[in-house]
Structure 1
Amino acid sequence: MQQDPNSRPASGYPYPNPPQQSNTNGYPPNANPYHNHNTSYAPHHNPRAILIRRLFIASMVFLLVLGIIFFLFFILVRPQLPYAYINSLSLSNFNVSKNHLTGNWDLQLRFQNPNTKMSLYYNTVFCTLYYNRVSLSETRLQPFDQGTKDETPINAALSVSGTYVETRLADSIGKERAAKGSVEFDLRMVSSVTFRYGVYRRRRYVTVYCYDVAVGVPANSSSGKVVGSAKRCKSF
């Protein structure tokens, strides 16, 4: 029996799978020649690195919260530097002769705490008297406390007895007395001040400058007083 060359396969019999064609690299199509089935090379997370990263994030969050707390605290409390005034000043036994200076300065100072919520504690106050930026005399004032909105008067005495001064300084004092009938001095006070609010404590150095304090002392007199009323100094 001869087989019909145009006959089709019987139904129910699938076509045989066509042979796979290789590409130029020798791999079958849709195959990934670089696929690695070895799971030992899968990436692993380092627990130490994760811990360090979490600690860093926690530290940043803590610092941010702390900064916000301090910002709100200073906004609400508003710590202010103390005010200082020269209420009165008298000069006695003042004399400049042959480059030697003598004099006694008696001052009444007034410190004011402008804070409504913070009390202040002043450690030893160092007080220095200047003329043309040259130190003439210095003294120390006793420590003291101040409540909120308190004012505290403090007496201070500075003296010079036959201290040598340069010729230019002695000449400047003589010319100023002759021209204006007064001499301008500068006063500086430095203290370590503690700001207190509940359990909060903050200590900082406060410097007070009293510039151009004019003392009326004519050329033919050895005594005088401050010119004008109470003088407010500048705090830094």
Structure 2
Amino acid sequence: MQQNPTSRSSSGYPNPNTPEQSNANPYQNHNPPCAPHHHNPRTILIRRLFIVSMVFLLILGLILVLYFGLISPQLPYAYINSLSLSNFNVSNNHLTGNWDLQLRFQNPNSKMSLCYNAVFCTLYYNRVSLSETRLQPLDQGKKDETPINATLSVSGSYVEARLADSIGKERAVKGSVEFDLRLTSSVTFRYGVYRRRRYVTVYCYDVLVGVPANSSSGKMVGSAKRCKSF
């Protein structure tokens, strides 16, 4: 008689064809719980300070861009109103003369005042320096114009033969001599608490002075002359 295979399980032996029952919860997580992560207070503080610093720099940069964009500082203008020459003589490679200048400085800025810390004035002929003088410091308000008088003098100064010959030829042919003038200054631009200092150079090219060969004096030919600022 064939025995029922299921009858063996009733005698206390496990049935190999039946899956073993487990008392364990099939949904139980066997991984140990994660330990709480403690952040370093110093790291958190440094991170926050970095974020605050970056935000501050970004805001400051935007403010500066808007600030400089609205101000748009312009270089000052300079003019030669008049120039008179006296006691002018070139002989035996020696030069003598007095150049009396009336200059005019103009501040084109409507929002900024200017402070000229010192103004150096140099007279040239054919790129050769003849004389130099220092002018007094100058303050200018917005849109101000300021006249300044200056005198450059040469007394028996030695010059090269080619330069003396060139001056003599100009006087004989044209009855005039062309001089160049250079002005340099450290200028401070001021707008409220804003301060910016830069060096400004002004060139006045080809200033024509009428001085015939038989005369020792002369004046600038033409009206006031505007110079170039750099």
> TM-score, normalising length from structure 2?
0.81
Specify whether residues 150 and 5 from structure 1 end up closer, same or farther in structure 2 by C-alpha distance, changes over 3 A only: closer
Q: Is 107-116 or 171-180 further displaced after alignment?
A: 171-180
**Residue in structure 2 matched with residue 82 of structure 1 by the alignment:** 76
Q: Is 109-118 or 63-72 further displaced after alignment?
A: 63-72
**Residue in structure 1 matched with residue 218 of structure 2 by the alignment:** 224
Specify whether residues 54 and 159 from structure 1 end up closer, same or farther in structure 2 by C-alpha distance, changes over 3 A only: same
In the alignment, the residues of structure 2 paired with residue 48 and residue 165 of structure 1 have an alpha-carbon distance, to the nearest angstrom, of: 74
**Residue in structure 1 matched with residue 166 of structure 2 by the alignment:** 172
In the alignment, the residues of structure 1 paired with residue 140 and residue 179 of structure 2 have an alpha-carbon distance, to the nearest angstrom, of: 28
RMSD between superposed Cα atoms in Å: 3.0
Tell me the percent identity: 83
Q: Which runs of 5+ in 1 are unaligned?
A: 18-36
In the alignment, the residues of structure 2 paired with residue 155 and residue 115 of structure 1 have an alpha-carbon distance, to the nearest angstrom, of: 23
In the alignment, the residues of structure 2 paired with residue 52 and residue 176 of structure 1 have an alpha-carbon distance, to the nearest angstrom, of: 75
In the alignment, the residues of structure 1 paired with residue 78 and residue 123 of structure 2 have an alpha-carbon distance, to the nearest angstrom, of: 15
Deviation at 1:153, TM superposition (A): 0.5
Q: Paired residues, what number?
A: 216
Letter in 1 for 2:103: L
In the alignment, the residues of structure 2 paired with residue 117 and residue 60 of structure 1 have an alpha-carbon distance, to the nearest angstrom, of: 31
1:100-115 equivalences in 2 (<5 Å):
100-115=94-109
Q: Secondary structure at the match of 1:159?
A: strand
Matched, 1:117 2:111: yes
Deviations 1:92-119 (A, max 9, x none): 1111111111110000000111111111
**Residue in structure 2 matched with residue 63 of structure 1 by the alignment:** 57
1:1-150 equivalences in 2 (<5 Å):
2-4=2-4, 15-16=18-19, 55-150=49-144
Letter in 1 for 2:125: Y
In the alignment, the residues of structure 2 paired with residue 195 and residue 118 of structure 1 have an alpha-carbon distance, to the nearest angstrom, of: 6
Q: Which runs of 5+ in 2 are unaligned?
A: 21-31
Specify whether residues 140 and 45 from structure 1 end up closer, same or farther in structure 2 by C-alpha distance, changes over 3 A only: same
In the alignment, the residues of structure 2 paired with residue 178 and residue 15 of structure 1 have an alpha-carbon distance, to the nearest angstrom, of: 133
Q: Is 148-157 or 48-57 further displaced after alignment?
A: 48-57
**Residue in structure 2 matched with residue 201 of structure 1 by the alignment:** 195
Matched, 1:211 2:205: yes
Deviation at 1:67, TM superposition (A): 2.3
Letter in 2 for 1:129: L
Letter in 2 for 1:206: V
